[in-house]
Amino acid sequence: MQQSILKKMISQSKIKLINSLSKKKFRDLNQLYIAEGEKLVLDLIQSSVEIKWLIAQSSWLSNHTIPSELEIIETSDQYLKKISQLKTPPPVIAICKFPSKKLEDISMRKKLTIALDELQDPGNLGTIIRLADWFGVENIICSNNTVDAYNPKVVQATMGAIARVNIFYTDLQSFLSQQTQQGTPIYGTFLDGENIYNQKLSTDGIIVMGNEGKGISSSIEKLISNKLLIPSFSQNIEVSESLNVSTATAITLSEFRRNI
Amino acid sequence: MQQSILKKMISQSKIKLINSLSKKKFRDLNQLYIAEGEKLVLDLIQSSVEIKWLIAQSSWLSNHTIPSELEIIETSDQYLKKISQLKTPPPVIAICKFPSKKLEDISMRKKLTIALDELQDPGNLGTIIRLADWFGVENIICSNNTVDAYNPKVVQATMGAIARVNIFYTDLQSFLSQQTQQGTPIYGTFLDGENIYNQKLSTDGIIVMGNEGKGISSSIEKLISNKLLIPSFSQNIEVSESLNVSTATAITLSEFRRNI
C-alpha cells in the first residue's frame, strides 16, 4: 500500500534516542519530540508538522492510508511499549521535528497574541494552546522559564492544536519592551485591573498570563499597558482568590473575540 | 492554647477508617471525606463545613489559632504519612462531614444553576466547582454517574470552593423534566447551537455541561430548551473539535454573568 520503507524492527539506537526525548535537554539537542496516540498522530499527519518517523503496529498501518513520503517503522506492541511514555501504549507514535519558524520572522501586527510568564503546569499549557487554536491566536510567546511545550504531557493535552499554533521561547521582558516601543497594547489580568466586561478591547495586542501561584511577575507587570480584571459574581466574601490560569485565559480570549 | 482534647496518638481504628475514605463506598457509608493541606483546611475551618477531626503536627497547631469546638488530633509526620493520600504529606488534614442539605430543600428559582451530565475527570469537576464559586452559582446538580465530588482529587482541585458550593447527585433526567415543567430555561452548548455571543441570556436557568468525550447524552439533549454554540474564531479548518469542558464552562458562565 505505502511506497515507503517498511522495517520490521526498530533498532536499539532508535529506542534509546526516542526514550531520551522524555527529557527537554535531549529534545532540544535532537530538535525532536514525541506524539502518541491515534487521534493526535492522524491530526499531525494532516498538518504542516514534519514527522521524522511514524512508528506503528502492522494492523494499524494496514487500516490507514499514510502519505507515501513518511518514513514508517512497522513494529510490534512489545516495541511500542518500550518507547511509549503512556501507561497503555498506543498503536501509533510519531517522532516529530521541531518547527523551523523563528520569532524574528513573525509579525505581531494586527493580531492577538498570548504571552506566558513562567507558566509551570503542562496541563495548563496544553489547554492554553488548545484555546489559542480555538480563538484563532496564531502565536504564543513564552518566557524562557515557562514549561516546555514539547513536554509529552503538553503535546498530549493540546489534542493536536500544537500543530496549528506557533510557540516561541524568549526573554519575555525584552520582547515586551520592544513591542511596547512599537505601540502594541499589552494586556494582563490583575485584581486591581479595570472590569474586562466594560472595556473596549482591541483586535490586536498581547495578552500576558502569569504563573499559577505568583501571577504576573513584577518586572513584566511594569510593561502591561492595560490592566484588566475578571470580576467575581460571588456573594461570598471568602470566594476563591483567583481563577485558575486556563479558565482565566478562556474568559479573556472570549471577551476579546466577542467584541469583533 | 486550645481548649479542645489533645491526643498524642491517632488510633489504628481511626487510621483504618481514614484510609478507607479514598473509596467512594466508604465515604458514602461514613458520610465523611478527607481534605488535605494547609490552605484548604484553613478555608474549611472558616466555612460552614463541619469538621469531625483536625489532624495536625504539633508545630502547625502551635502556630495556628483553631476554634475551640474542633476535635484536634495532634500527631507526628509519621502518622500523617500513614493517612495522607498525597505524595508529600501535609502538616494538617481535616476529616469533614458530608453537608446535610438536601436537593429537595433547594429552590432553583431566580438563580443560575449548573448541571453535569456524566462528567468523569476529577480535575474538571474541581475546576467547575471553583468556577461556580467565582461566578456566584450556588448549586451544582450532578447525574448519578458523574465523578464523586468528595473524591480527594476533586476536593484538592476546588481550592476550598467545595465549602461554598452545594453539590447534589440525582437522576438528572427526572430532575430536568421537573424543572422544564416549572418553566425553567435549560441551556447546553452544542455544535449546532445558536451563537452564545448574540443571545439574550437569562439571569436564571440551568446550564448543562456534558461528558468529556461524548458531550451531552441524547436523553438529556431532549430536555434542553436553549441550545448554545461557543463559536471558533480559527481560520484553520482543522481546529480542535471542541473546547474542553472546564474552559467551555468558564466561557459560558462569563457570558451569562456579563449580561447582568
Cβ count within 10 A of residue A177 = 13
Q: How many domains does chain B have?
A: 2
pLDDT for res B259? 72
Instruction: Pick the closest to residue B253 from B165, B151, B155 (CA basis).
Output: B165
Burial A136-159 (b: 16+ CB within 10 A, else e): bbbbbbbbeebbbbbbbebbbbbb
Q: Which of A97, A132, A161 is the last residue of a domain?
A: A97
Same domain? For B131 and B210 the reply is yes
* pLDDT tens digits, B198-219: 999 999 999 999 999 999 999 9
Same domain? For A121 and A25 the reply is no
Same domain? For A113 and A84 the reply is no
Same domain? For A116 and A237 the reply is yes
> Testing the interface with B: which of A39, A41, A49, A134 to mutate, by most B Cβ within 10 A?
A134
pLDDT for res B236? 73
Residue B111 scores a pLDDT above 60? yes
Same domain? For A119 and A176 the reply is yes
Instruction: Pick the closest to residue B99 from B170, B18, B28, B31 (CA basis).
Output: B31
Ramachandran sector of residue A56 (left: φ over 0; alpha: ψ -120 to 50; beta: rest): beta
Cβ count within 10 A of residue A7 = 15
Same domain? For B24 and B131 the reply is no
Q: Assess if residue B3 is contained within a domain.
A: no
Same domain? For B61 and B108 the reply is no
Q: Which residues of A touch B246 (CB under 8 A)?
A: 127, 246-247
Give the nearest chain B residue to A195 (CA atoms). B258
Q: Assess if residue B1 is contained within a domain.
A: no
Q: Assess if residue B57 is contained within a domain.
A: yes
Contact state of A238 with B197 under an 8 Å Cβ cutoff: no
Q: Assess if residue B4 is contained within a domain.
A: no
Same domain? For A59 and A134 the reply is no
- Does A108 or B227 have the greater pLDDT score? B227
Same domain? For A163 and A134 the reply is yes
Q: Which of A76, A97, A118 is the last residue of a domain?
A: A97
- Tell me, what CATH number does B37's domain have? 3.30.1330.30
DSSP A143-211: ETTSPPTTSHHHHHHTTTGGGTSEEEEE-HHHHHHHHHHTT--EEEEEEEEEEGGGS---SSEEEEE-B
Same domain? For A123 and A65 the reply is no
Q: Assess if residue A1 is contained within a domain.
A: no
* pLDDT tens digits, B154-207: 999 998 999 999 999 999 999 999 999 999 999 999 989 999 999 999 999 999
- Tell me, what CATH number does B188's domain have? 3.40.1280.10
Q: pLDDT category, B7, cuts 50, 70, 90?
A: low
Instruction: Pick the closest to residue B99 from B32, B36, B21 (CA basis).
Output: B32
Residue B8 scores a pLDDT above 50? yes
Q: What is chain B's alpha carbon radius of gyration, rounded to the nearest angstrom?
A: 21
Query: Range of A47's domain?
Result: 12-97
> Testing the interface with B: which of A43, A247, A260 to mutate, by most B Cβ within 10 A?
A247
Minimum-distance CB partner of B135 among A123, A134, A233: A233
Contact state of B260 with A164 under an 8 Å Cβ cutoff: no
pLDDT for res A80? 93
Q: Quick check: ipTM above 0.85?
A: yes
Q: Which residues of A touch B236 (CB under 8 A)?
A: 133, 136, 164
Q: pLDDT category, B235, cuts 50, 70, 90?
A: confident
Instruction: Determine the Cα–Cα distance for residues A41 and B53; give it in Å rounded to an integer.
Output: 49
Q: Assess if residue A67 is contained within a domain.
A: yes
Extract the residue ranges of chain A whose pLDDT is less than 70.
1-8, 237-241, 260
Q: Assess if residue B6 is contained within a domain.
A: no
pLDDT for res A16? 95
Same domain? For A84 and A171 the reply is no
Same domain? For B86 and B130 the reply is no
Question: What are the start-end ranges of the E strands in B65-156?
Answer: 72-75, 92-97, 112-116, 139-143
Give the nearest chain B residue to A127 (CA atoms). B244
Minimum-distance CB partner of B234 among A46, A136, A232: A136
pLDDT for res A3? 44
Q: pLDDT category, B118, cuts 50, 70, 90?
A: very high
Give the angle subtended at the CA of B82 by the CAs of B80 and B86, to the nearest 5°. Answer: 75
Q: Assess if residue A7 is contained within a domain.
A: no
Residue B1 scores a pLDDT above 70? no
C-alpha cell at B79: 502518622
pLDDT for res A103? 95
Q: Which of A39, A72, A97 is the last residue of a domain?
A: A97
